[in-house]
Amino acid sequence: MMDVKVLILYVMSQALYPVDVQKLYELCYQDDCLSYFDLSTAVPQMVESGHLEKVEEDRYVITQKGRDAEEVTHDSIAYPVLQRARQAVERFNREIRRDNLIRTEILPRESGDYSVVLGLDDEVGNLMTLELMAPTQQQARALARAFHKSAEHIFQDVMTDLLGVAEHREDADV
């Protein structure tokens, strides 16, 4: 159980966002030595000991006490497990960061159709907001899902097309 707790501390020290038990299991599971039961037993014990703190809707963050313990114990984790856990947490952090920069909202309109408001931000502010009309709620959801999946590519395509048109007009004016 101590090895499980050490791995949990390492993963939680690398996570930039609160993590629920299921996601923590996915991030920690690097070989067959860890079971969901082990993790679901360890997490409440670590909350009770003050190494983890429960926040918003069954999500957890590491405390300063947990960080201090992690600094002392992380070198006891087998290197391959440590590397795989680090990569899993880096992917998790990227996914959450990306999700926080993409906004989708479906709004019913008086005419019975739907407005789909799509937004892409960066760390500084809004890069693009696009509002589309969808005749059905199903199509509105499909638009929102497609935007969420490809927001960066859509933004890049819009910028490329608009800048290409602007350059073409400037060349024609010369």
pLDDT > 70? residue 168 = no
Residue 170, pLDDT score: 62
What 80-87 contacts at long range (C-beta under 8 Å, 24+ apart), as own/partner pairs, is 80/30, 81/7, 81/30, 81/31, 82/10, 84/30, 85/7, 85/10, 85/11, 85/14, 85/27, 85/28, 85/30, 86/14
130 and 89 fall within a common domain:
no
Quickly state the pLDDT bin for 145 (edges 50, 70, 90): very high
Q: Considering only 14-18, 29-33, 77-81, 140-144, which range has the smallest mean pLDDT?
A: 29-33
Q: How many domains in the chain?
A: 2
Question: For the residues 82-101, what does the mean pLDDT come to?
Answer: 93
pLDDT of residue 172: 60
Q: How far apart are CA 128 and CA 159, in angstroms?
A: 10
Task: Please check whether residues 76 and 19 belong to one and the same domain.
Answer: yes
> Do residues 123 and 161 both lie within one domain?
yes
Which is more confidently placed, 63 or 170?
A: 63
Q: What is the token pair recorded at 31?
A: 């070989």
Residue 29 has pLDDT above 90, yes or no: no
Looking at residue 43, which CATH number applies to its domain? 1.10.10.10
Cβ pair 55, 15 in contact under 8 A: no
> Residue 145 sits in which domain range?
109-173
Comparing 70-74, 78-82, 163-167, the range with the smallest average pLDDT is: 163-167
